[in-house]
Amino acid sequence: MQITDVTTHLVESDAPISEYGVNGWLIVTITTDDGVRGIGEGGAWAYLETAAQAIQRFKPYLLGKDPLKREHHLQYLYRSAHFRGAAIMSALSAIDIALWDIAGKYYDAPIYELLGGQCRDKLRTYAHVIGDSTDDLVAKCTECKEEGFTAIGHLSPLLDESRDRRYSETHAGMIADASDRVRRFREAVGNEVDLCIEIHRRLDPHQAIALANEIEQYRPFFYEDPVRPDNFDAMKKVADNTTIPIATGERLQTIEEFAMLLRRDAVDYVRPDVCLTGGITASKKIAAAAEANYVDVVPHDPLGPVSTAACVQLGASIPNLALQEYPYRPENDQAPGESLLEEPFEWEDGYLLVPDGPGLGIEVDDDVLERSSYEQPELATRLHEDGSVVDQ
């Protein structure tokens, strides 16, 4: 069996996937001379066109190759040049996922069977709750609970305000308001729902520690990305000064970066993105490294249905899955990408059911895939009242 074609598709989402204007996915299809087709997705969602070009750069190498040599191809392409980056890793991840899909179809087995077998038959999920006011967030938390979710994430006590709005807030005001919002979230859903508090890398360590001390009493499931992920020692400083478990990793690109976090005891829930860290091949290794350190996995999944399908296969095969992000928003009534699938995911009582079909267990609607087009939005970075850059 040989690879005969590698094709990229920039697909417009059928529902918003980001409050920052990003509204599309990068899908790759790899076909073979045996007629087997694999589907993958890239995760550098702010730079989809750049990642698509990287896939085309890798295409000449892949043509004519055996698609079952997944690890070798990932190593060859990653180590072929001196440079790396999010767009390159996004491209490699999309290719790796598609190759795993081919392997599953070739062996007529779900990917989780090729990863060591099934550890669970369903994955507990958390929904996305996004809003620019406390009342909006509280209402959506209540709605998610009523719909059956037992965990809620993407939940920012700092609000999801427009990036066009300049930021200005005192330290005391920010801490007091954010803490009070978490109190209201907890009161709205009781102890029947876990709260995954998302900071979006917006705080410096001293601010993150101060806020964590205030909200510990409301028992968050985790405290996600309280500081920028560029300095692992800064993340460790926060972890050392709070009892709330730290979740981070969605912006990391290599297994070595996760190893550095784990070595520092700076994380309690690793958040690899299968569409950014090197696909299923690398994500399985990250999960194993985390397991050896008594750390659980919460795969990052803010993207399209191929990303979700890859996460489900990974989550079904690892013993240390804690929770699965599911990009469902109550205002949309469905997760993004269901129109792209021939059959939607099965979800019930807060859980995604693990499919038993070969490969990823999904098939995309070619008509939707071919007719859809997507253009990247303009960059929008939030500014402070004084004109300086604010992380959001």
Q: What are the helix and strand counts (H, E) for the chain?
A: 12, 13
| Residue of 199, 269, 201 whose CA lies nearest to 229 | 201
Distance CA 71, CA 84 (A): 18
Distance CA 119, CA 184 (A): 36
The reply to whether 206 belongs to the active site is no
For 245, which DSSP code?
Answer: P
Contact 60, 107 (CB under 8 A): no
6 CB-side CA count, 13 A: 28
Three-state secondary structure of 187-226: HHHHHHCEEEEECCCCCCHHHHHHHHHHHHHHCCCEEECC
Distance CA 361, CA 280 (A): 14
Distance CA 365, CA 28 (A): 14
The reply to whether 200 belongs to the active site is yes
DSSP H helices in the chain: 48-62, 70-78, 86-107, 111-114, 134-147, 171-189, 205-215, 232-239, 255-263, 279-292, 305-317, 366-371
Which of 128, 206, 300, 384 does the annotation list as catalytic?
Answer: 300
Which of 9, 200, 206, 384 does the annotation list as catalytic?
Answer: 200
Give the residue numbers marked as catalytic: 200, 300
